[in-house]
Structure 1
């Protein structure tokens, strides 16, 4: 949590997916994450335009991206895609980006078939960040 001399900062969390990207937000003052939006991954231009609109509205100081790994910590195809997404966020928006291990975040959610839970997964990822800092 921030020291008394540090102003609260808005933080976004992302659960990257090929079809959808979950977005959550929180701030360093209360250290609690909330689901914010689900961005449909129609194409790169549309995806980043929608993310830009959220960034322009909320002005986050930090972006957190969930990093999927195998249970043993080994990387896989989605790990590389998430790293690339994190690099793209930093390159496009100039906001610091940190990666958070998301291995067990999806186990916390039990959704009904077809229910979109990406924003809640992003909130769990962001909460993991807050809880570890």
Structure 2
């Protein structure tokens, strides 16, 4: 059995949460929150993480309305997933993240993006 490192992203316009895990332990861990200042900075930060950890695949959370309908962020997350695949030539899978951001909240009610990414990755591990 080949052990693969997998990265997950909780995409947001202002921040992107990042989590990682591997196929042996199958336990997601928060890694970092990337400030999404602009595309160049965003992808440079992602490139640095990929160079350091060398994941075999990437997972992106796909936000949806509770009834499963798409909304504006659904399209943005799909575009981000396509950009990851195009820039880094790694397989990218989408995972329904309808409730991941709601599960983890900070004391002031703000989403903790890297923990949301860990929930997305854990959902991926649990379904594969």
Counterpart-to-counterpart distance in 1, 2:56 and 2:114: 19
Match of 2:18 in 1: 23
Match of 2:8 in 1: 13
Residue ranges of structure 1 left out of the alignment (5+ in a row): 1-5
Verify the 8 A CA contact 2:17 2:114 in the aligned structure 1.
yes
| SS of the residue 1:90 aligns to | helix
Superposition misfits of 4+ residues, deviation over 4 angstroms:
none
Bigger mean CA deviation after superposition, 42-51 or 112-121: 112-121
Task: Calculate the TM-score normalised by the size of structure 1.
Answer: 0.93
Number of aligned residues: 128
RMSD: 1.1
For residue 104 of structure 1, report the CA deviation from its aligned partner: 1.1
Match of 2:88 among 90, 93, 97: 93
For residue 31 of structure 1, report the CA deviation from its aligned partner: 0.4
Residue ranges of structure 2 left out of the alignment (5+ in a row): none
